[in-house]
């Protein structure tokens, strides 16, 4: 396969983990006979410093033309002034809108080796296998905003069409899993949530009547996610609630550095990134966890390029490394290895798998 993949390192630890993702993409291309053209572009704070814009025109055009996009992270204290008119996060929001990606997929499945690293009791992690489907281009993040001397507002607005299209994504995923969707809202207070609840119910009843649908208020969901996480399968929700709940769910995996995400729904292959932030406090120290980015590469291969076998192999390689106790300090504390060492371990497993395929 020939494919163009745009890589956006970004800020903080972004360049370090993006470099790990690039190495894995190069290894997969070589081992499976693909031709990946990897281009690199600025976004976020780095782009503000270089171009005065968190999403320069050249970066946006390259991403729109690419078959898929891999992102490191954006933001940091250098650009954290809440009164600033130009902020790194604006580049990411604009990129999502430009690519038309409206569904964010975030899997959470704790690795057995990580049970001790998670703050929850081991028995609560047994059988946890979640897929969050978060609407990505609507709600208060993209609504009208304003501020005056007396206050401020952020408008949250959704259309039925926006809710229906992300519900369809969740339904297709649920069909490949346990056939259950939990839709999360605040329908006892918010009108947008009441729209969500009624629209999801009507859409599934009309097109996917065999899928089991439950509704959950976001505040109770925040509690149940930590007290009975194994009782959920696909979790469908709006932009703001999804952003908060998926970060909360990171504790189930033992480290936010392990979790990937995929933003899909546009005409091309989508946007892929770890769910962690730019972690400026550890930037340049070699402590950044590359596994979330490498797992995002697996999602890019599967959802963006339709290369499921390659994706399975990358995920298996991460699993093998964790099973062997190879991971950064956020995962294994004092026994943790560096970013480069963890990446090298994944590459070694991939190379071993390639040799076995050739021998077979």
Catalytic residue selected from 102, 158, 186, 233: 186
Concerning whether 186 is annotated as a catalytic residue, the answer is yes
Q: Is 272 helix (H, G, I), strand (E, B) or coil?
A: strand
CB-CB neighbours of 37 under 10 Å: 12
- DSSP H helices, 33-182, are 45-51, 57-65, 88-99, 122-125, 160-175
In the chain, the N- to C-terminal Cα span, in Å, equals 22
Burial status of residue 215 (CB atoms within 10 A of its CB: 0-12, 13-18, 19 or more): middle
Query: Exposed/middle/buried for 130, CB within 10 Å: 0-12, 13-18, 19+?
Result: buried
Residue 263 · residue 99 · CB < 8 Å: yes
* Catalytic residue flag (residue 247): yes
Check 32, 154, 202, 247 and give the catalytic one.
247
> Could you say which of 81, 116, 219, 312 is catalytic?
219
**Cβ neighbours for 203, distance < 8 A, ≥ 6 positions apart:** 163, 164, 167, 168, 171
Mark 87-110 as b/e (b = at least 16 C-beta within 10 Å): bbebbbbbbbebbbbbbbbbbbeb
Question: Rounded distance, CA 270 to CA 137, Å?
Answer: 13
Contact by Cβ (8 Å): 126, 141: no
Contact status, residue 105 vs residue 177, Cβ threshold 8 Å: no
219 catalytic? Reply is yes
Helices (H) and strands (E) in the chain, counts: 13, 12
Q: Which of 129, 154, 243, 319 is catalytic?
A: 243
Cβ burial of 354 (10 Å; 0-12, 13-18, 19+) is middle
Q: Is 49 a catalytic residue?
A: no
Is 243 a residue of the active site?
yes
Residue of 141, 158, 272, 291 marked active site: 141
Alpha-carbon distance 156 to 154, whole Å? Answer: 7
Strand partners, 68: 5
* Residues forming the active site: 141, 186, 219, 243, 247
């Amino acid at each position: 396969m020939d494919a163009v993949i745009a890589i956006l390192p970004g800020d903080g630890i972004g360049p370090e983990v993006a470099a790990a993702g690039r190495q894995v993409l190069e290894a997969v291309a070589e081992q499976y006979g693909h031709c990946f053209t990897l281009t690199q572009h600025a976004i976020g704070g780095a782009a503000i410093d270089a171009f005065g814009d968190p999403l320069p025109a050249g970066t946006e055009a390259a991403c729109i033309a690419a078959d898929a996009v891999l992102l490191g992270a954006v933001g940091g204290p250098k650009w954290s002034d809440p009164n600033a008119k130009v902020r790194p996060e604006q580049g990411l929001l604009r990129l999502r809108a430009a690519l038309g990606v409206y569904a964010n997929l975030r899997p959470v499945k704790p690795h057995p080796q990580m049970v001790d690293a998670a703050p929850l009791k081991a028995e609560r992690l047994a059988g946890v296998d979640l897929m969050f489907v978060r609407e990505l281009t609507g709600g208060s993040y993209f609504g009208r905003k304003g501020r005056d001397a007396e206050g401020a507002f952020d408008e949250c607005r959704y259309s039925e069409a926006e809710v229906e299209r992300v519900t369809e994504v969740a339904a297709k995923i649920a069909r490949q899993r346990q056939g259950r969707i939990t839709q999360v809202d605040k329908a006892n207070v918010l009108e947008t949530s009441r729209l969500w609840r009624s629209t999801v119910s009507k859409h599934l009843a009309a097109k996917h009547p065999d899928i089991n649908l439950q509704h959950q208020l976001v505040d109770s969901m925040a509690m149940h996610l930590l007290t009975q996480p194994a009782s959920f399968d696909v979790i469908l929700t709006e932009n703001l609630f999804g952003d908060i709940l998926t970060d909360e769910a990171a504790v189930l995996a033992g480290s936010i550095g392990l979790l990937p995400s995929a933003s899909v729904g546009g005409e091309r292959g989508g946007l892929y990134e770890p769910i962690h932030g730019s972690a400026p406090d550890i930037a340049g120290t070699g402590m950044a966890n590359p596994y979330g980015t490498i797992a995002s590469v697996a999602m890019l291969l599967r959802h963006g390029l339709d290369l499921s076998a390659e994706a399975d192999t990358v995920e298996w390689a991460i699993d093998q490394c964790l099973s062997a106790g190879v991971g950064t300090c956020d995962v294994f504390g004092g026994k943790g290895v560096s970013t480069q060492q963890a990446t090298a371990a994944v590459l070694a497993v991939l190379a071993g798998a390639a040799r076995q395929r050739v021998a077979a």
